[in-house]
Amino acid sequence: MNLPAYQSVLTPEEYLEGETRSEIRHEYVNGEVYAMSGASEAHNLIAGNLFVLLRNHLRGTPCRVFISDMKTRIKSLRDERYYYPDIQVTCAPEDREPYFKQRPKLVIEVLSPSTERSDRAEKLSAYRKLESLEEYVLVAQDARRVEIYRRESGWDLELHQEDAGFRLTSVGLELRLDQVYEDVEIAPPPRDPFSNGEG
């Protein structure tokens, strides 16, 4: 679990200024700042594969793809958050802040043990407040599994596993799981110590 980096409540301006000088990244939720932990090899490979696939697909369009060092800002009346999604795509020409984006149409998070709970609950709820967002995608790193939440379906879960193909409708891209998991070694699930090995 991410822990507050320090206790004092920060304004968004103080947070943004601090991030330009910090050696580690922090996410911001209503004045509290949380340090981010490092990512595994599998996490990096999956995020890199997705970035390359999206970048190649969107080349020559108004859409831009950003990987983990670009923040997303989510602001409503009493709520202001800055997250670092693993991948985000924005196609809004006015979305030109240099250190954060406010109008992504696609956000992808690669699940990690330290972030999975937050990605599934807190961040899913927060990202859905973005009027621009069309899809929120969660990608497992311990199994070949992609979960897609779409605005047009009322944010119902769409699950893709093993060798399935799937479509990112927000950007019109057809993908296969073997592209997402290229070069990623997924460890087999731990053996049940109470199993005798029979079917």
- Domain membership flag for residue 57: yes
Query: Is the Cβ–Cβ distance between 135 and 151 less than 8 Å?
Result: yes
For 38-73, b where at least 16 C-beta lie within 10 A, e where not — what string? ebeebbbbbbbbbbebbbebbeeeebbbbbbebbbb
User: How does residue 105 score in pLDDT terms, banded at 50, 70 and 90?
Assistant: very high
- Domain membership flag for residue 52: yes
- Domain membership flag for residue 120: yes
Question: pTM of whole model > 0.75?
Answer: yes
Which residue would you say has higher pLDDT here, 57 or 187?
A: 57
**pLDDT at residue 188 is higher than 80:** no
**pLDDT at residue 1 is higher than 60:** no
CATH number at residue 78: 3.90.1570.10
- Domain membership flag for residue 76: yes
- Domain membership flag for residue 33: no
- Domain membership flag for residue 27: no
Q: What are the residues facing 34 on neighbouring strands?
A: 4, 27
**pLDDT at position 163, please?**
83
Instruction: Give the residue numbers spanning the domain of 159.
Output: 39-180
Count of structural domains within the chain: 1
Q: What does residue 89 show for φ and ψ, rounded to 5 degrees?
A: -125, 125
**pLDDT at residue 4 is higher than 70:** no
- Domain membership flag for residue 13: no
- Domain membership flag for residue 191: no
